[in-house]
Amino acid sequence: MLNKVLILSASAGAGHVRAAQAIERAFANMNAAREVRHVDTLDYTSKMFRRMYSKAYIELANKMPEFLGWLYDFLDKPWKNERRRLALDKLNTRPFVKLLRDDPPDIAICTHFLPAEIISWLKAKERLATRQAIVVTDFDVHAMWLCRRCEHYFVALEETRVHLEELGIPADKITVSGIPIDPVFAEPKDQRAMRIKHGLDPDKTTILVSAGGFGVGPIQHIVTALLRIQQTVQIVAICGRSVELKDRLDRLAAEHGANSRVPLKAVGYTTDMDEYMAASDLMVGKAGGLTASEALAKGLVMVIVNPIPGQEERNSDHLLEEGVAIRCNNVPALAYKIDRLLDDSTRLAMMRANVRRMARPRAAETIVATLLARLEK
């Protein structure tokens, strides 16, 4: 058992935080450490830096996605931009450095590259002796995840492991764990029972729409397109914290009619995402690493719509190559693509088998168990 574990995320998008929370819960479920603390690194940075880091990605994704993709590719040069980036980060993370030095943990587990980079620098200067693990939260690995003084990497795919090895990371420092998700997604739940529980028709093919990463306008267009599906299906749209979006979709559902061949149910903020996934057959949404991993864990074939350039496009490439997803770049054709998939039972069965093969619902537990085994050596 470890004495003190520090899990470090950064609230630049929800995925890094959710991955950290999953690891934290796995430590608790396994009773694997005396003290486990999860810290958002951005809480220990300058106010301007925190605003830039937390909002810049969302602003670029919504308003300048092409520039975001260009920037992602431009910065993906292994071992090239470390000093320049580190100089900026050091200026703005002094409270974080103080936190580490005042109360050093036995191990720091980083689900974002910002804390990993700072810890690596402190270790190089012999100002910190904490061991470090890095958990990559996308299917691909970007150059910004690379650190010269990291004891262990956890990645999603065998291809990612090979990539890291080719970049000089020793094989014994890499584990293919999958992306850590809340252990609740590993719990089997009966599809029919979940449909009944949440007021859905237990006998209808169910399409789940996740609004994460979509603006209000785009998600309404997507749902409107789905209402043109010819198959007998029902649609569940998860609106998150957007009251405006829920109101719009409620009005759309009312206009469409409760007895429609394609009924629509809009759901606001919910903590039952695993249950809605268990109730569903397909998920329409973005290709974030955490959301995709949750969908895989619940056995869902994915329909990816207009992935954001950069990591989402790379995630999409992996999901398409593994045969667990289809992609639609033109929303008006969305209903046609889904009808075509649902008409092909052989193809759909093969994709579901691929989903079961690719899913790693217990990634968080794998990470904790691997770290315990390595630290006991």
Q: Which CATH superfamily is domain 2-181+362-375 in?
A: Glycogen Phosphorylase B; (3.40.50.2000)
Q: What pLDDT score does 301 carry?
A: 98
Q: What pLDDT score does 64 carry?
A: 80
Q: What pLDDT score does 1 carry?
A: 67
Q: What pLDDT score does 47 carry?
A: 82
Name beta bridge partners: 230.
none
**For the whole prediction, is pTM greater than 0.85?**
yes
Q: What pLDDT score does 87 carry?
A: 66
d(CA 328, CA 332): 9
* Intervals of CATH 3.40.50.2000 along the chain: 2-181+362-375, 184-358
Q: What pLDDT score does 88 carry?
A: 65
Q: What pLDDT score does 214 carry?
A: 52
**Radius of gyration for the alpha carbons in the chain, expressed in angstroms and rounded:** 21
d(CA 106, CA 134): 14
> If 0-12 CB within 10 Å is exposed, 13-18 middle and 19+ buried, where does residue 376 land?
exposed
Fold classified for 184-358: Rossmann fold (3.40.50)
Q: What pLDDT score does 215 carry?
A: 52
Provide the CA 185 distance to its chain's centre, in angstroms. Answer: 13
Q: What pLDDT score does 107 carry?
A: 94
d(CA 260, CA 183): 36
Q: What pLDDT score does 50 carry?
A: 83
**pLDDT (tens place) for every residue of the chain, 377 residues total:** 678 999 999 988 788 999 999 999 999 999 887 899 999 999 998 888 887 777 777 777 777 888 888 888 888 888 886 666 676 677 778 899 999 999 899 999 999 999 999 999 999 888 988 999 999 999 999 999 999 889 999 999 999 999 999 999 999 999 999 999 999 999 999 999 999 999 999 999 999 998 765 554 588 899 999 999 999 999 999 988 888 888 999 898 888 776 678 999 999 988 999 999 999 999 999 899 999 999 999 999 999 998 888 889 999 999 999 999 999 999 999 999 999 999 999 999 999 999 999 999 999 999 999 999 887 65
Q: What pLDDT score does 53 carry?
A: 75
